[in-house]
Amino acid sequence: MAATLLVLGGGRMGSALLSGIFASGSLKPGDVVVVEPGVERRFELAEEFPGITVVDTPEIEHLDERTGVLLAVKPDIAESVCRLVGGLGAQRILSVVAGVSAQRLEATLPGPISVVRAMPNTPALVGAGMTVISGGSHVTKDDLDWAEDLLSKVGAVIRLPERHLDAVTGLSGSGPAYLFLVAEALIEAGVAAGLSRDVASTLAAQTIYGAGKMLVETGETPESLRAAVTSPGGTTAAGLRALESRAARSAIFEAVMASAERSKNLGR
């Protein structure tokens, strides 16, 4: 049976996308074939998504000209898996593989096949991802619409030229880790200030979640939201002054730049 969507790699990202896609009702389980070499993982996938086809290798009968391929394997095998599926006749490939350019994937393919490259982040695993997509040399608007539609099931999507993906990696790709570090520090500080670890953890998580939700939902700038909670001479002003005196803003700036630079070097 030819699939509407052929998923290569039923790991965390592959299954997060499937959850989002099925929850949205945009595809039926019978439309999807997942290729996954791990025997145990294949059983788990079949249990989690009843009705999908799970196989250990892609076959020519899984593809026709309408089949979209989602490449969700680890970077070290992405090119060989892409070559394999290209040889089977794939016409449209969406790669969520970090650090492997559309050009490198295209070089494995037998002809001018559409490759859309996506840089998602880990909140996609809970439906709150930020994904940037870029088109390779042969993509059409239709291909980008298709990719955006799929990825929008696990969060927000924007389109940018591929040259921006290192900067995207530095900001939204690595960004969740910076905020997890902030959460750790808030928890430690809350404990030092006398709260139990449980209470401090709840306060830290909900504070970061709530601040993010305000940024997304109010459309206000971070500066105006910050100003609105900072009364002159008040408690928040004292906290912010301590942060600025320790160059917190500059540390975040350096983190994004360092991650972007590392991404650029890894992609070479």
Ligand X SMILES: NC(=O)c1ccc[n+]([C@@H]2O[C@H](COP(=O)([O-])OP(=O)(O)OC[C@H]3O[C@@H](n4cnc5c(N)ncnc54)[C@H](OP(=O)(O)O)[C@@H]3O)[C@@H](O)[C@H]2O)c1
Q: Does 37 bind ligand X (CB under 6 A)?
A: yes
Amino acid symbol at 120? P
Binding-site member from 2, 46, 77, 208 for ligand X (CB under 6 A): 77
Binding-site member from 51, 59, 60, 74 for ligand X (CB under 6 A): 74
Convert residues 38-57 into a mask of x (bound to ligand X by CB under 6 A) and - (unbound). x--x----------------
Q: Which is nearer to ligand X, 115 or 200 (CB)?
A: 115
Closest to 52 in 3D by CA, of 89, 3, 16, 125: 3
Q: Which is nearer to ligand X, 12 or 249 (CB)?
A: 12
Q: What H or E segment, with its residue span, contains residue 7?
A: strand 5-8
The residue number with the shortest CB distance to ligand X is 11
3-state SS class at 196? coil
Q: How far is CA 221 from CA 94, 129, 180, 216, 225, in A?
A: 33, 20, 22, 10, 6
Binding-site member from 33, 54, 81, 200 for ligand X (CB under 6 A): 81
Q: Does 168 bind ligand X (CB under 6 A)?
A: no
264, 183, 240, 229 alpha-carbon torsion, rounded to 10°: 110
**Least distance (Å) from ligand X to the CB of residue 15?**
8
Binding-site member from 3, 5, 6, 9 for ligand X (CB under 6 A): 9
Q: What pairs with residue 7 in β-bridges? A: 34, 70
